[in-house]
Structure 1
Amino acid sequence: MNIFKRLLKIGQAEIHALVDKMENPIRLIENGIEEMKQQLSELTEAYILNRAQIIRNENLAKNKLNDAESYEAKAVLLLQKAQKQEIESSKADHLALEALNIKKKLTQEATEVTNENLLFAEKTNLINNKIDILKFNIAKWEKELSTLKAKQRINNASEFANQQMANIDNNSTIELLKKMKLKLQNQEAHNDATEEIIQLSTEQQIDYLLDSSDNTAMQDLEQLKQKIKNL
């Protein structure tokens, strides 16, 4: 029953009713596998979108941190110029403070983006786990389906053979074969009788010819004797 829970997501009572009524379980399993493949496609698309967002966030956080470091470098440069009296100290302090404030803001934004990425990464890992489970189940049930189809072919062949054997009895085929055999025997007997008649007729003709030949030979013999006597 687990297959129907996993493939069709229906209740236990509905599963039993479905099993009782199903006429083509192979097709039902095929539909379930197709459903899992559709879920796999949707999850894969979601995974790709999440991974893309993670990469964008990583780049954004990295850029903000780089910008924050550059503003800190500007603040240091301003303070150095103030020490060298290249710029007024008060002005340098003011500009340096603004640079540090921007640095702080950029650092906070980078932190927020990084934290957001942690959530995306967690969701993406869950999606990836579901993808692995679906791939495993699809491969498993495709193998099971192949085995079931092979068994179905064997069952269909056996059922066909049984039907043919049943039809032999139901259709009186055996009786028909017996009649055909008897007819062949009758034909064989008829042929044998015909050959006997032909053989007998041939022998009679030969005897007649032999008798005729003997009479002619006797006449020739008498004629020859008479001819010799007259010499």
Structure 2
Amino acid sequence: MSIFQRLFRIGKANVNAAVDKLEDPVKIIDQVLRELDEDVEKVTAAVTSQMAVEKRFERELKEAEELVAKRESQARQALAAGNDDLAREALADKAKQVEKRDKLQESYDRAKATADKLRDQLRDLKNRVTEMKDQRSTLIAQAEAAKAQQKINSTMKGVGRNDVGATFSRMEEKIQKMHDEADAAFELANEDKSLDQKFEEQLKATKDNAIEDELAALKAELNGNK
């Protein structure tokens, strides 16, 4: 497993842990994303260094190739001028430059392969971190929903506890007692009324009924004339 995959898995694991524990998920998820951004910066610096190595070998390889071509051209010029010794010296140095060029070619190929691989892995890491950032709102929503569900479950458990049930029973008994006391007070109040008060109430009720009867008769008469 590459360092990029490890970094991503560590970050994802921390996010999952934040959701599971429900310990301020917003802050924890944002902290994980900040840490991943810092890791991306560090890895980017490492990739940049490797690319610099690749560029250095590429430059040195190009210089070696140019020098090989130059020595061959000088050998041809020396031969054309009839100077075999100078041509021989140019070809001897060309052989050294060819050996150097071949070694530089191997080093450049390895450096380029490594840089290409690191660039691909860095690109993959950045894409994954971007996906996590895109999922931030979803993860937070899920965490908040789970947190709310946990509170509801805790509350529902509390409703069924014996002490809560007993409190409601006592309140019911107290309310019923208040009704009973009110009924008893009403009965006592009626018992304490004098005979004259009772007759006055009866007379008032009779008068009220008479008025209602007369009102009903007038309404009937008016409706009949229409």
Q: Which residue type is aligned with residue 6 of structure 1? A: R
Which residue of the partner structure matches residue 6 of structure 1?
9
How far apart are residue 53 of structure 1 and its match?
Answer: 2.2
Contact 1:4 1:15 in 2 (8 A): no
Change (3 A) 1:7 1:27: farther
How far apart are residue 154 of structure 1 and its match?
Answer: 7.0
How far apart are residue 115 of structure 1 and its match?
Answer: 0.9
Unaligned runs of 5+ in 1: 83-91, 161-169, 171-231
How far apart are residue 34 of structure 1 and its match?
Answer: 2.3
SS in 1 for 2:23: coil
Question: Residue by residue, what CA displacement relative to the aligned partner does 1:134-161 show, whole Å, maximum 9, x if unpaired?
Answer: 112111111111223345667889999x
User: How many percent of aligned residue pairs carry the same amino acid?
Assistant: 23
Give the alignment of 1:105-124 within 5 angstroms.
Answer: 105-124=96-115
Give the alignment of 1:1-231 within 5 angstroms.
Answer: 6-8=9-11, 21=21, 23-82=23-82, 92-150=83-141
Unaligned runs of 5+ in 2: 1-5, 152-163, 165-226
Which residue of the partner structure matches residue 181 of structure 1?
none
Contact 2:18 2:28 in 1 (8 A): no
Structure of greater Rg: 1
Higher relative contact order (CA 8 A, sep 6+): 2
Q: Which residue type is aligned with residue 89 of structure 2? A: E
Partners of 1:58 and 1:81 lie apart in 2 by 35
Q: TM-score, normalised by structure 2?
A: 0.53
Partners of 1:46 and 1:77 lie apart in 2 by 47
Contact 1:67 1:106 in 2 (8 A): yes
Q: TM-score, normalised by structure 1?
A: 0.52
Q: How many equivalent residue pairs?
A: 152
Question: Residue by residue, what CA displacement relative to the aligned partner does 1:13-36 show, whole Å, maximum 9, x if unpaired?
Answer: x99988765522333332332232
